Structure 1
């Protein structure tokens, strides 16, 4: 019983000692590139406020939050070492949420927002809004 309890307790009461540092989370922003200066918009901005009912529901199921965590994971991988897979996954999700716009060119960037402002981390190459299948 003691062995089982020692295995279950860390799951119920996690230790945060495995974090070396707590750093700002990268944000994904996108813009349409059309000759003018790009107007960057945050991709899937976080809600400003959650009701207690929404918080409770998110404890058990939140597909949108899980996908947001996946995007953060891709962004962190791009920060460490850009890979085609991570870049493509972010592009796919941006394209899936935008209305069909023929002949548009898009770009995304990753930024860190901290107490001192924001730092640009990565800017993608321009990509077509709706690539050929």
Structure 2
């Protein structure tokens, strides 16, 4: 019985040693490029500033958008640690899926935000090459 209890307790009470390190997660920013016109960097899937109680409860049970966001964070972290074309392709595809058609090229970058005193500092860790948006949206569809 004690053996069963020792196996069950870690599933109920989380361990703070689950993660090897706790560090800021990279954020994805993108910009659209049309010919000579280069757009400003925009945050991909910004978090809402306010959620009502009903939205919070619903998100606890069903939140596929957040699951996809966690997947993008995982791809971003892997891209920083061990760059691979797979991570670049996944980020490009998932960012392109949320954008309206019309722009010619897409470019993304990974940034880390840190606090130094009272100000926020943005460190750009990775910047992708430009990719044709139409080809990405055709694959994503």
Runs (4+) of structure 1 exceeding 4 A deviation are none
**Pairs within 5 Å for 1:50-65:** 50-65=51-66
Contact 2:31 2:38 in 1 (8 A): no
2:78 is the alignment partner of 1:74: no
Structure 1 residue 121: Cα displacement:
0.9
Supply the distance in 1 between the matched residues of 2:3 and 2:50 (Cα, whole angstroms).
41
Tell me the number of residue pairs that the alignment of Structure 1 and Structure 2 aligns.
Answer: 132
Give the TM-score normalised by the residue count of structure 1.
Answer: 0.88
**Pairs within 5 Å for 1:1-133:** 1-34=1-34, 35-36=36-37, 38-101=39-102, 104-116=104-116, 117-131=121-135
Supply the distance in 1 between the matched residues of 2:29 and 2:83 (Cα, whole angstroms).
17
Supply the distance in 1 between the matched residues of 2:53 and 2:73 (Cα, whole angstroms).
25
Structure 1 residue 53: Cα displacement:
2.5
Supply the distance in 2 between the matched residues of 1:46 and 1:26 (Cα, whole angstroms).
14
Supply the distance in 2 between the matched residues of 1:21 and 1:114 (Cα, whole angstroms).
16
Return 5+ residue gaps in structure 2 as ranges.
Answer: none
Query: Equivalent residue of 1:17, what SS?
Result: coil
The more displaced of 83-92 and 42-51 is 42-51
Q: CA RMSD in A?
A: 1.8
